[in-house]
Amino acid sequence: MQHNFNTKPPPNYVAGLGRGATGFTTRSDIGPARMLPGSELGAASAAGPARAPPAGQPADKPQDLSETKFDHFNGYEERLFGDTPYEEDDKLADEVWQAVDAQLDKRRKARREAREQEELKKFRATRPKLQHQFADLKRDLETVSYAEWEALPEPGAHIKGAQAAKRSERFTKAPDSLLDRAKREIEGASVVQDDGAGAGAGAGGGSTDTPLADLKSLGQARNSVLEVKLDLAGDSVTGQTVVDPKGYLTGMASVKVSSEAEIGDIKKARLLLDSVRQTNPSHAPAWIASARLEEVAGRLSKAIELMKQACAACPGAEDVWLESARLHSKDGAKLVLAEAVRAVPQSVKVWLHAASLEDDGRLRRLVLRKALEVLPNSVKLWQAAIDLETPQDAKLMLARAVECVPHAVDMWLALARLETYDNARKALNRALTAVPTEPLIWIAAIKLEEANGHGEQCDALVGRMMKWLDQHEAAPERELWLSEAEAAERAGAPLTCDAILRAALPIGIDPEDRRRIWMEDAETFVTKGAHECARATFAACLAAYPTKRSVWERAAQHEKAHGSREALAALLRRAVGYCPHAEGLWLMAAAERREAGDVAGARGVLTDAFRANGSSEAVWLAGVQLEFDEGEHERARALLARARERAGTERIWARSVAVERSLGDLHAAHELAVGGIATHPRCAELHVARAAVELKRSAVGEARATYARAVKACADAPSVWIGAAALEAADGALGKARSLLESARLRMPAEPRLWLEAVRLERRAGNAQAASALMAKALQSCPTAGTLWAEAIAMEPRQTQKAKSSDALKRCDNDPHVILAVSRLFWRDRKLDKARVWCNRAAALDPLLGDAWANFYAFELEHGTAAQQADVLARAVSAAPQHGEHWKRMADDPASCSMPLAELVKRVAEAMRLS
């Protein structure tokens, strides 16, 4: 049974009246009550804040202020000042306060309104109005016609239809008799169909009634169709499908789904472009834009059709033909371009594109030659055609090309490269006649002369070039000449490069800035890898400033790094001739001779250096080192004796003591130390050397006395205090050792070596807590001391070493001692790549730190290849390290004094290997 609840109610029907659910009215429904004119409250409002007493009530009636009239929350029920008269001063005060409130409100009005606007914007951004949400759709209403508007259904039409559909779907349960009758009808229909149409016709005698449909057969047919579809989607292998999941997802990803906004934009753009095309049919960009719009929209056929119309409307626009060819397939593009070359035969782009579509080189050459027949003055066509030819055919085509396009410099240069020497000279002369303002032709001519063995003519030709270009007012800027010199070096023409730089370097430079700018140019060339240009720049600078020692040293360093040994020796010979008092140049020359195995030559250089610098400490010590390394001990002693007489510096005396110690003559070493202290009483190195000799002779008392005198004479030398404390600690007097180090720290609180020695003293004594406390104080006094941070990392337990190393890197990131300590942590943890990087970084930060090189070499001995080991050892020897804790200990050992540098590196590396 159907139930309809949408009919109109009976007349005078009130919902709920039968069960007593009647409505009621409240004060809020009817609004506030109206105030009577004569009421007390109205009179009070008219009178002001303080009113007169009501009529009939005496003015002096006392108020009831008892506790019964008092409430803790609301106060007294009576108005305390209700009987106070409202006078003019009260009115004036109220007006003043109202003005103050108005002014305050006015001051805050701008900020309040701005805040309200901002809050409103935020609210509208999150919850926009309906009119804003559908603004883009409302704009489309202007395109709706009156007929379409009238065809729109009424607002409630679809609601009524839905309600009607719901009403039609409300059914009560059918009785069993209906189900049984339907079942019998289905069975009867099946029997009739099985009997056949002929039986029915014979029984009925020409009846045309249609038999009932067999619902069961319809269901079976539907299942059969579904099975066929599934079989088509399946493969011959059971359970396998022809749908590739990966390919399916990829294909779905490539499908472009356009939003409604994009579709609307495309429609608007299409209308706009249609209007432009109709207004100006010969406007090629409008056709191209329309075709690309259709291409973006996925309508490629429409885009091709538009370009066909464009080719007909704008046959003289090459861009239209090229765009049409782009949209077509390769074969179709060939047909389009075949029409294009007839429509726009002067278009170079069309000819080049037509040639690029040909896969066969022969056909491509035919297209380009046909193009050259039409456009013989096109440089691009000539270049494209020549690139396809063999060298012999290219020479012939270039000969023709320079006739057709004589202004093409590249054609002349290419022809000169392919021709013989004589023909190339003729070609370049013709090129100068055709293009007299091009410097590249001159440079090509100079390279040609150098390549054919006429390098002596380079300077003359460069001079002629400069003069020629000045006459034609075509001289380029200085930077262009420098870049051309680099290009000449890359082309293998060093003489041309040198000649250009000699002529171009002085251009546009003031004499007072010349040396600085030339040195900057040389460094720039070195950075770019143009070492021949840098060499020529140094040569020009040396020619202008032959007595500048810094220029000679920089040129020698460059020649040593990037030149030959012979060139370096020749340069240094010239250098010491111009700067005889430059000790560094003499020592560099002697070192180069010695590295080359020419010991006699090195002696000769040092002999000349002695004559020019008789009081030079560095020259004397270099001579002593040379003789000592060569085993000429007596000659070394003789040189030291002469050096003490002529120079007599602290280093010479200390070196004399070290030589005698290494040779085992402790008596002579002691005498030399005493003599040196007498000459230089404040030399801490001599005091320490004398104490070391005395300890070697087992004279502990004499050594203690020597240190006692040393701490008075050299109170600001940390090595003296450290040596004295070490002596006391070795003798068992730890208290004296602590006292000495504490006194030294009071004098030099920021000296890391004193703090480090104090910490190690406590560690050797087994006082771990005292050592940790001292280390904390040391890091507070010297927060950037890398040696202290490295020791702190070593003192930490293995679990906290990483955190300590992180703190150390924050304080002193570029300290080689900290980097060295971190590299050993990586080495221990077998993080080999990181360990190698950090070892290299430590050595690069301070190349003179022997411990860094020894640690690097020890790491490579354990984990590196033979090539890596040899490279690190060679770099260490080249750096010639001089300091380091382990390095200094090994180097000061008398047994290592005559040891080669490579052997010393290996010995220190063995001591620094991880145990």
Q: Give the pLDDT of residue 698.
A: 87
Q: What is the pLDDT of residue 146?
A: 78
Query: Quick check: 630 pLDDT over 90?
Result: no
Measured distance CA(783)–CA(881) in Å, rounded: 26
Amino acid occupying residue 348: V
The two structure tokens encoding residue 512: 């007072």
pLDDT in tens, 316-347: 999 999 999 999 998 999 999 999 999 999 99
- The closest of 399, 408, 494 to 447, measured between CA atoms, is 494
Overall average pLDDT of the 886-891 stretch = 89
Please, are residues 535 and 512 in contact by the beta-carbon 8 Å criterion? no
DSSP state for residue 556 in the 8-state scheme: H
Q: Cβ distance 199 to 223 under 8 Å?
A: no
Beta strands 70-71 and 75-76 are antiparallel
For the cut 80, the answer to whether the pLDDT of residue 158 exceeds it is no
For residue 723, which of 735, 733, 711, 712 has the smallest C-alpha distance?
711
HEC profile of 836-860: HHHHHHHHHHCCCEHHHHHHHHHHH
Tell me the residue type at 480.
Answer: L
Q: What is the pTM of this model?
A: 0.62
DSSP state of 71: E
**Interval 561-620: pLDDT, tens:** 898 889 999 999 999 999 999 988 999 999 888 888 888 889 999 989 988 888 888 999
Q: Is 305 exposed, middle or buried (0-12, 13-18, 19+ CB in 10 A)?
A: middle
The span from the CA of 911 to the CA of 744, in Å, is 30
pLDDT-derived band of residue 311, with 50, 70 and 90 as boundaries? Answer: very high
| Helices and strands in the chain: count of H runs, count of E runs | 50, 2
CA-based R_g, the chain, Å: 53
Residue 304, pLDDT score: 92
Segment 664-677 shows an average pLDDT of 91
Return the pLDDT at 262: 73
Mean pLDDT of the chain: 83
Query: In this predicted structure, what is the pLDDT of residue 656?
Result: 92
Q: Average pLDDT in the 216-227 region?
A: 63
Give the least confident one: 185-194, 422-431, 655-664. Answer: 185-194
76, β-bridge pairs? 70
Cα separation of 416 and 786, whole Å? Answer: 64
Structure tokens at 848: 């003179």
CB atoms within 10 A of CB 272: 14
Distance of CA 309 to the CA centre of its chain: 50
193 has pLDDT over 80: no
More confident residue, 414 or 236: 414
Higher pLDDT, 838 or 39: 838
pLDDT in tens, 749-796: 999 999 999 999 999 999 999 999 999 999 999 999 999 999 999 999
Matching residue, tokens 């991880």: 914
The tens digit of pLDDT for each residue in 114-151 reads: 888 888 888 877 877 767 677 767 777 777 787 887 77
Q: What does each C-alpha distance from 160 to 3, 4, 6, 757 come to in angstroms?
A: 16, 13, 10, 100
Per the structure block, which two tokens stand in for 672?
A: 């030399």
Q: 14-28, 478-492, 497-511, 518-532 — which is least confidently predicted?
A: 14-28
Provide the pLDDT confidence category of residue 250 given band limits of 50, 70 and 90: low
For a pLDDT cut of 90, what percent of the chain falls above it? 45
Whether the pLDDT of residue 687 is over 90: the answer is yes
Residue 877: is it exposed, middle or buried by C-beta count within 10 angstroms (0-12/13-18/19+)?
A: middle
Between CA 900 and CA 882 the distance in angstroms is: 13
**Which amino acid, residue 157?**
A
Q: Among 242-256, 505-519, 572-586, 833-847, which stretch is predicted with the lowest mean pLDDT? A: 242-256
582, with CB counted inside 10 A (0-12, 13-18, 19+), is: buried
Give the N- to C-terminal CA distance of the chain in Å, as an integer.
100
Phi, psi of 631 (to 5 degrees): 85, 5
Q: Which contiguous run of DSSP H or E holds residue 514? A: helix 514-528
Spell out a b/e string for 725-737, using b for 16 or more CB atoms within 10 Å of the CB, else e.
Answer: bbbbbeeeebebb
The one-letter code for the residue type at 333 is: A
Measure the CA–CA gap between 801 and 825, rounded to whole angstroms. 8
Q: What percent of the chain has pLDDT over 70?
A: 80
Which residues touch 70 (CB under 8 Å, ≥6 apart)?
A: 76, 77
- Check: CB of residue 692 under 8 Å from CB of residue 893: no
Give the number of other Cβ atoms within 10 Å of residue 816's Cβ.
Answer: 23
Residue type, 578: Y
Burial label for 172, CB within 10 Å (0-12, 13-18, 19+), is: exposed
Mean pLDDT of 803-814: 91
Q: Which residue has the tokens 């001391």?
A: 785
Asked if residues 508 and 478 have their Cβ atoms less than 8 Å apart, the reply is yes
Largest CA distance in the chain: 157
